[in-house]
Amino acid sequence: MRSLKAASILFMALSLLTLPGCWSSNEIEDLAIYSGVAIDEGDLSEVERGLEEKGGSYSKQNKITATVQIVPLKAGTKDEVKGKTSPYTNISGAGDSLLEIFRQFSLRLNKPIIGHHLKIIVISSQLLKERNIKQVADFMLRDNDIRPNVKIFVSQGEAMQILTTKLPDEVPSFFINDIVKNQFRSSKIMDPVQMTNLDALMYSKQSFILQTIVQAKRQLAFSGAGIIKGETGKWIGHLTEEDVECINWLTNASSSGIIKANNEEGDSIAYEVKGMKTRIRVHTEQDGRLIFQVRVESKGRISEDWSVEGNPSLSSYQKEAEKLFEQKLSMMMDHLLASMQDRYKVDVAKFCEIVRIQKPQLWKKVKSNWDETFSESTVNLDIHVNVTDYGSTTK
Amino acid sequence: MAVSKSFLGPNDKITTSQAAIFLNNAMLGAGILTLPRSVSESVKTPDSWISVLVGGLIAILVVVLMLKLSLRFPGKTVFQYTSAVIGRYPGMIWCLILVFYYIVIAGFEIRAMAEVTMYYLLEGTPIWAITIPFIWLGAYLVIGGIDAIARVSQIVFPISLCILILSYLLSLRLFELDNLRPILGDGLGPVIHGLKSTVLVYSGCEVVMTLTAQLENPKQALKAVLTGVGIPIGLYLFTVIMVIGGVSVDSAVTSTWPTIDLVRSFEVTGFLFERFEFLLMVIWLMQMFCNYSCFFYNSSLGLSQLFKLPYKAVIFALVPVIFLVTMIPQNMNELFGLGDAIGYLSILLFLLFPVFLSLLALMRFGGGGGARHEKS
């Protein structure tokens, strides 16, 4: 009896060795992890053209070109790899379904690609001119590997060029992902639009902006933002760096950055923003038009002054400087408002949120054609700049 | 095996705190993963949380009513006393509906759990390989009776609670109060409209009607059920506020599993776990397991008491039935459809049934049985 029990326990213990395990496990060394995706207009790359000539094709239309940036797992030590190989591999394919293109890469790579560590997606503005962003991003929103915190950018020029930028020992997608963190230094960097946000924005058909990345001589930079019109989901224009800065300040997304003004002699004087707070109230006029009362209050210091005579420690001088900064800031704001209300007729500075929260009943009525309503409304600016100090030198 | 003698089966008793946790676990299941979407879909404004709160108050009222009804028949479960109130055959039919409901909801929980697991954790694993171990394990636990389930819940719940709260706190970085404003911008209309989907997430509280019979100390029953209902209400409220505040109403509506998506929306670099959704899901699987076990227990107890069948035999007989229920939905839409159907059935069982029974009991037996006032 006892031996029977012992035998059964032994059997169970042994079967434990074979039973557990992960059903569908994949060794990480056998996976090609991609960290960035670039989406362009459908154009065959040289490689693909060559492949097609030899019959390497399938039934498709070349509507988009997708490039994935694969980060290889370094087998050797860091020094060994350094200098010898590029820290990333890019592979492009054209087609009319992102998933199909991705699966097609399985025919050209020795490892399956996997999106768990995707950080950024760059979409060319050229492509978005013709195609709704919903079509382009749909796969990424549905896929279970790709996380909702992937950041989305647009590029001037080819998106795949952004991912091939030559940076010593840097993977461009990680590089771009890190630039976003510099927001505390410059409010020209907007809060990145993530997949979650994109989902909500497309659902509510709001117009929005995506940070633009430009590149020249294989160096890249964040520069302004591309406007995506809510109704069509298409790229309709570009906002300058200063416009983006103003949007950040208007929406209280960031309170960093500088304002540089020129005095009468043309000398530069720079104001470092330490705090920026915007309050917006909305009223309706009798004819139904909306009036936004925007009050911007800022605190900061004079961090650079080129004028030889000026003395930033004098409060009279500070008052004058404040006036200069206020003028400059309202000039910048006016530029932004002109772009939004006259040129593109969209609201991308979240004025809709103000109406939604302050006048929910009205919001229901104007929601469907908000961009037009906003373009016809009046925005009154009330800007207060307050210089609190002048750095470590008094003169 | 000598151990089986110590198993008292369906006759064992539980303490007040065990009862509270048992009730809590009967309500907290897969619902928390989809709640923000289902509520936002019907409310359409950021007021979902008010809806959840009001739904919770209704749930409290109903639970208290069920408790009062059950306390009239000390030591008897709903399956035993229904016949006494409305006659043998109608009682039998009512109870069979209740058993059927428990079986379906048990199957639903397992299936929802399997779907989440297959999509996010174990892609490629066949569904039976996920569901069958859970069903078997559940059977093993249910054989131990309510006491065993309550003990497991006592171990699991604090862990899952900690992880859930931790995930939410980490998501605070996404939280924006503006996403929750304006409050009552469209008046009370949307809130009331949303009630039908919030009542759904409180389904499961019917277990009070069997739970009461097994209380060690029935005098503290009210305290137990109020705690048991209070915790899920608090957690649901917290969930909706964090998800809507974190990702906005529009995103919650478009997401299949909004709560998981909230946790997927951020990475905690340099922390022990960079990606919290895996931890949350793995832990929440245990919670869903407890949840399912509660329903499994109730359905087998019901069948064995109704037909005077041996409890263990019923459990084993139900294993394939639950597996079949698990496999009924052919796709996600059918799964969510089943969830809604359960909700509607639960309104019937959960609102009308206790009220009706209470009234009848009041008419037939007057105020006897302890509680004189039935107007709760």
Q: Where are the domains of chain B?
A: 12-359
pLDDT at B81 over 80: yes
Amino acid at A84: K
Beta carbons of A149 and B125 less than 8 Å apart: no
The pLDDT of residue B375 is above 50:
no
Instruction: Identify the pLDDT of residue A74.
Output: 58
Tens digit of each residue's pLDDT (9 = 90 or more) over A370-395: 888 899 899 999 999 998 888 887 76
The length of chain B in residues reads 376
The nearest CA of chain A is from the CA of B125 a distance in Å of: 6
Two tokens, residue A395: 């003169």
- For position B372, what pLDDT does the model report? 40
* DSSP code at position B272: S
Q: How many A-B residue pairs are in contact by the CB < 8 A criterion?
A: 63
Contacts of A356 in chain B (CB under 8 A): 182, 185
Predicted confidence at residue A89, as pLDDT, reads 86
- Backbone phi, psi, residue B242, to 5°: -70, -40
What percent of chain A is helix, strand and coil (3-state, nearest 5)? 40, 30, 35
Instruction: Considering only the beta carbons, identify the residue of A22, A144, A194 that sits closest to B119.
Output: A144
Residue B108's Cβ-count burial label (10 Å; 0-12, 13-18, 19+) is buried
Name, in order, each residue with C-beta under 8 angstroms of A133's C-beta and a sequence gap of 6 or more.
Answer: A123, A198, A202, A228, A233, A234, A235
User: In one letter, which amino acid is A48?
Assistant: E
- Give the one of B125, B250, B265 whose C-beta lies nearest to A24's C-beta: B125
pLDDT of residue B14: 87
What stretches in chain A show pLDDT beneath 70? 1, 19-24, 73-85, 395
User: Which is more confident, B186 or A19?
Assistant: B186
Asked if residues A231 and A247 have their Cβ atoms less than 8 Å apart, the reply is: no
Please answer yes or no on whether A23 and B250 come within 8 Å at the CB atom.
no
pLDDT in the model for residue B7: 38
* Region for residue A50 given its phi and psi (left: phi exceeds 0; alpha: psi -120 to 50; beta: otherwise): alpha
CB B15 within 8 A of CB B147: no
Q: Is B122–A196 a contact, with Cβ atoms under 8 angstroms apart?
A: no
How do residues B21-72 score in pLDDT, each as one tens digit? 999 998 888 888 888 888 888 888 888 899 999 989 988 988 888 888 888 8
pLDDT digits (tens, 9 = 90+) for A172-184: 888 899 899 888 8
DSSP string, B114-134: HHHIIIII-TT--HHHHHHHH
Radius of gyration of chain A (CA): 27
* Residue B117 predicted with pLDDT over 70: yes
Give the separation between CA B131 and CA B319, rounded to whole angstroms. Answer: 11
pLDDT of res. B87: 81
* Other Cβ atoms closer than 10 A to A159: 28
Give the pair of three-digit tokens for residue A249: 């300040």
Is residue B80 within 8 Å of residue B305, measured between CB atoms?
Answer: yes
Peptide bond before residue B74 is cis, with ω within 30 degrees of 0: no
Q: Where does CATH 3.30.300.210 sit in chain A?
A: 243-395
Measured between CA atoms, how close is A86 to chain B, in angstroms? 26
End-to-end Cα separation, chain B, in angstroms:
48
Average pLDDT over residues B304-317: 90
- The amino acid that residue B42 corresponds to is S
SS3 call for A1: coil
Of B5-14, B125-134, B175-184, B249-258, the one with minimum mean pLDDT is: B5-14
Q: How far apart are CA A249 and CA A26, in angstroms?
A: 46
| SS3 (DSSP) at B317 | helix
From A149, A353, A357, residue closest to B266, measured CB to CB: A149
Q: Which two tokens stand for residue B92?
A: 């039998």
For residue A378, the SS3 value is strand
* Interface contact A279, partner B, CB < 8 A: no
Q: Are B265 and A194 an interchain contact pair (Cβ–Cβ within 8 Å)?
A: yes
Chain A residues with CB-CB distance to B1 below 8 A:
none
Q: Which B residues in the span 77-106 are in contact with A, Cβ-Cβ below 8 Å? A: none
Torsion region of A83: left, alpha or beta (phi above 0 gives left; psi -120 to 50 gives alpha): left
pLDDT tens digit sequence for A284-303? 888 878 899 999 999 998 88
Q: Tell me, what's the pLDDT at B376?
A: 36
8-state DSSP, A343: I
**Pairing relation of β-strands A290-305 and A378-389?**
parallel
For B204-232, how does the pLDDT look when each residue is reduced to its tens digit (9 = 90+)?
A: 888 888 888 888 888 888 888 999 999 99
How far from A165 is each of A38, A172, B226, CA to CA, in Å? Answer: 12, 7, 62
**DSSP H helical segments within chain A, as ranges?**
2-18, 46-53, 78-81, 98-104, 125-130, 133-142, 159-163, 172-179, 195-204, 241-250, 315-337, 351-358, 360-366, 370-376
Token digits of residue B161? 């609670």
Task: Confirm if B373 and B67 have CB atoms less than 8 A apart.
Answer: no
Please state which architecture CATH assigns to domain A243-395. Answer: 2-Layer Sandwich (3.30)
With beta carbons under 8 A apart, name residues in chain B contacting A353. Answer: 178
- Given a contact cutoff of 8 angstroms between Cβ atoms, the answer to whether A124 and A155 are in contact is yes
Q: Which of A4, A199, A279, A370 to mutate to test the interface with B (most CBs of B within 10 A)?
A: A199
**CB-based contact B276:B296 (threshold 8 Å):** no
Backbone angles phi, psi at A155, to 5 degrees: -120, 145
Give the nearest chain A residue to B268 (CA atoms).
A149
**Which ipTM did the prediction report?**
0.76
Which is nearest to B131 in space by CA: B151, B159, B106? Answer: B106
Helices and strands in chain A, H and E counts: 14, 14
Tell me what pLDDT residue A21 has: 65
Model pTM score: 0.83
Q: Which residue from B129, B261, B267 is facing A23, i.e. has the nearest CB?
A: B129
Q: With b meaning 16 or more CB within 10 Å and e meaning fewer, what string describes A69-96?
A: bbbeeeeeeeeeeeeeeebbebbbbbbe
pLDDT of residue B4: 37
CATH of domain B12-359: 1.20.1740.10
Percent helix, strand, coil in chain B, to 5, is 80, 0, 20
The full 3-state SS of A101-160, as one line of letters, equals HHHHHHHCCCCCEECCCCCEEEEEHHHHHHCCHHHHHHHHHHCCCCCCCCEEEEECCCHH
Residue B314 has a pLDDT of 92
For residue range A77-132, what is the model confidence (pLDDT) as tens digits? 444 445 556 788 889 999 899 999 999 999 888 888 888 889 999 999 999 999 99
Q: Give the integer Cα–Cα distance in Å for B245 and A282.
A: 23
Judged by CB atoms closer than 8 Å, whether chains meet at B264 and A149 is answered as yes
Give which of B146, B218, B208, B228 is closest to B369, Cα–Cα. B218
- B254 and A148 in contact by Cβ < 8 A? no
Tell me the average pLDDT across B168-193.
84
Tokens at residue A315, please?
A: 């409060």
- CB B246 within 8 Å of CB B262: yes
Mean pLDDT of chain A: 86
CB B29, CB B287: distance < 8 Å: yes
Q: Of B45, B133, B142, B57, nearest to B326 (Cα)?
A: B133
**Three-state DSSP class for A94?**
strand
The whole-number pLDDT of residue B322 equals 92
Q: Is A361 in contact with B182 (Cβ distance < 8 A)?
A: no
Give the residue on B whose Cα is nearest the Cα of A191: B174
Q: Is the pLDDT of residue B271 over 70?
A: no
Nearest Cβ partner of A23 from B125, B254, B275? B125
Contact A149 B251 (CB under 8 A): no
Segment B345-366 shows an average pLDDT of 76
Complete DSSP assignment for B170-213: HGGGG--GGGGPSTTTTTTHHHHHHHHHHHHHTTTGGGHHHHGG
Shortest CA gap A140–chain B (Å): 13
pLDDT tier at B5, thresholds 50, 70, 90: very low
Residues contacting A137, CB < 8 A, separation 6+:
A121, A123, A152, A195, A198, A202
CA count, 13 A, side-chain hemisphere, B299: 27
